Amino acid sequence: MENVSKIWLGPLPADSPYVKPFRLYYVQNGKEKNWDLLKVHDSVAIILYNTTRQKLVLVRQFRPAVYHGILTSAEGNFNEVDLTKYPPSIGVTLELCAGIVDKEKSWAEIAREEVLEECGYDVSVERIEEVMVYRSGVGSSGAKQTMYYCEVTDADKATTGGGVEDEIIEVVELSLPEAQRMIQKGAVNNSPPSCLMGLMWFFANRAPSASA
């Protein structure tokens, strides 16, 4: 699904709207220290459960940062990439529906929009329940993410989803046993910890009991 035909690397432009790196200086116990970090957008993620189908709804997409992380762990620095040696598919992740907070709207409203844009379910904001707030990337970015839970039905399905503009996002439905396997040792979906945490939260708090 990723259909990526060429990959190359350049320096970060000074005017990047997405990644703003800094060095923060501080004095701790009388001693000057510093820490390199970057400002990234805060974000929302949504655990989406289709009760009609009893399926969790996730998204697959090509993630440049993951591809870059895998490649540089293996090769160190690079310029242009040999895609036969490192196929773009290694950078595809399986994640919760999510999005950055870059609009003057409530976070729950942004979550509602992401559910529609990425996964095609049109729900009211009242149906989106806040689960947890945490800081991701405590070592490098410290951005805030709020996780939500939303139950949907087939009747809420308004579009096929897939993202807006140039986004290429595949909607993936997982049965509960499939999702259980994702949170066991050896799962290889390049999933972020927030996704794994969301699935664990679902099984601990919302999943229909095994006997249902």
Site for a copy of itself in 8-27 (CB under 8 A): 8-13, 16, 18-19, 21-27
Quick one: how far is CA 166 from the chain centroid? 17
Contacting residue, 85, 185, 210, 211, with a copy of itself by CB under 8 A: 185
Pick the binder of a copy of itself from 55, 111, 141, 179 (CB under 8 A).
Answer: 141
Q: Which stretch binds a copy of itself (CB under 8 A): 105-113, 116-124, 140-148, 154-162?
A: 140-148
- Taking residue 98's Cβ as centre, other Cβ atoms within 10 Å add up to 20
The verdict on 37 binding a copy of itself (CB under 8 A) reads yes
What is d(CA 102, CA 155) in angstroms, rounded to the nearest whole number?
29
Residue 79 near a copy of itself by CB under 8 A: no
Site string for a copy of itself, 94-123 (x = CB under 8 A): -x----x-----------------------
Are the C-beta atoms of residues 1 and 92 closer than 8 Å to each other? yes
- Specify the 3-state DSSP secondary structure of 91: helix
Amino acid in position 67: Y
Backbone angles phi, psi at 111, to 5 degrees: -60, -45
